[in-house]
Amino acid sequence: MKKACNLLVVTLLFGAILTLQAQDTYGGLALYTVRADMETNAKATLQAVAEAGYKNIEAAGYKDGKYYDMSPLEFKKTVKLMGLKPISTHQSSVTLDNADMEMASAKAAGFKYFVVPIPPMGLFNYDSATQKMSMTGGAENLATILTKLGMKAKKYGLKLLYHNHDFEFMKDSDGVVVIDYLLENTNPKYVNFQMDLFWVTKAGADPVSYFEKYPKRFKSWHVKDMDKEGKFAPVGNGIIDFGRILKHKKKSGMKYYLVEQDNTWGKAPLDVIKVSHNGLKKFGFK
């Protein structure tokens, strides 16, 4: 009888621990934040991401048919072993010619969303002197490319998203606001968007206004904070009112959100992601 009671107590305690872990495991992380660690030791880094409390991940390390030097199937098995779910992958190298290969890899790795993080095929420009981003080719050309990629993605059972920076919210040389053109001239059946909340704010635009004008188009968010100087900051340590934005989650169409911090300013990324995970609670993210 005593052994049975002890077994019951142990079982209940184990169940309580699992429940607590489940409650503390939420949200996603864009692995671009820990890219240096992923290059050094991908598996150890993924384990650290899981231990920090993250549930979902977004890759940003596809090269030569592999994710972080792992085959798509090995990557899928590895993240599952860590208790992580592969949600999306940034594929900056995608072109109309290699899209079939890259999308087959993304599908095999278990991703749901194939994200185009910058205007592809050499259209993206970055001026290191001014740290300004821009694009060539025009909004109509980009919309055409994204539509073709989106149609291919659908054939592979993937959903295509375009990820913004700040320049898409400003008028280009033709007087066109690129993001507006893309939203108005792409079919949501093939093309939708990943809104980076930092870059929208940096551009002086309001995320909520975009949710209201273009509902259900923003399937994923990058939750990235901004300090008073306009630099990247851990979630909760900056000036962006994520609570206000989160209230409009349903209208935006958001299914997943991912913490990202491009630069951690000398602090260890694996420490910073813990700060951001705690910061998520402040705004009610689950």
- Asked if residue 271 has pLDDT above 70, the reply is yes
Q: How far apart are CA 177 and CA 169, in angstroms?
A: 6
Q: How far apart are CA 158 and CA 150, in angstroms?
A: 9
DSSP 116: E
pLDDT in tens, 77-102: 999 999 999 999 999 999 999 999 99
Contact in structure between 131 and 106 (CB atoms under 8 Å): no
pLDDT in tens, 146-165: 999 999 999 999 999 999 99
pLDDT in tens, 237-265: 999 999 999 999 999 999 999 999 999 99
pLDDT in tens, 30-89: 999 999 999 999 999 999 999 999 999 999 999 999 999 999 999 999 999 999 999 999
End-to-end Cα separation, the chain, in angstroms: 41
The residue whose two tokens read 């993240």 is 79
What are the structural domains of the chain? 23-283 (3.20.20.150)
pLDDT-based confidence at residue 24 (cuts at 50, 70, 90): confident
Contact in structure between 61 and 36 (CB atoms under 8 Å): no
Work out whether the CA dihedral 55, 56, 60, 65 comes out positive or negative: positive
Share of residues in the chain with pLDDT > 90 (%):
92
pLDDT-based confidence at residue 8 (cuts at 50, 70, 90): very low
Residue 63 phi/psi, 5-degree rounding, is -160, 130
pTM: 0.92
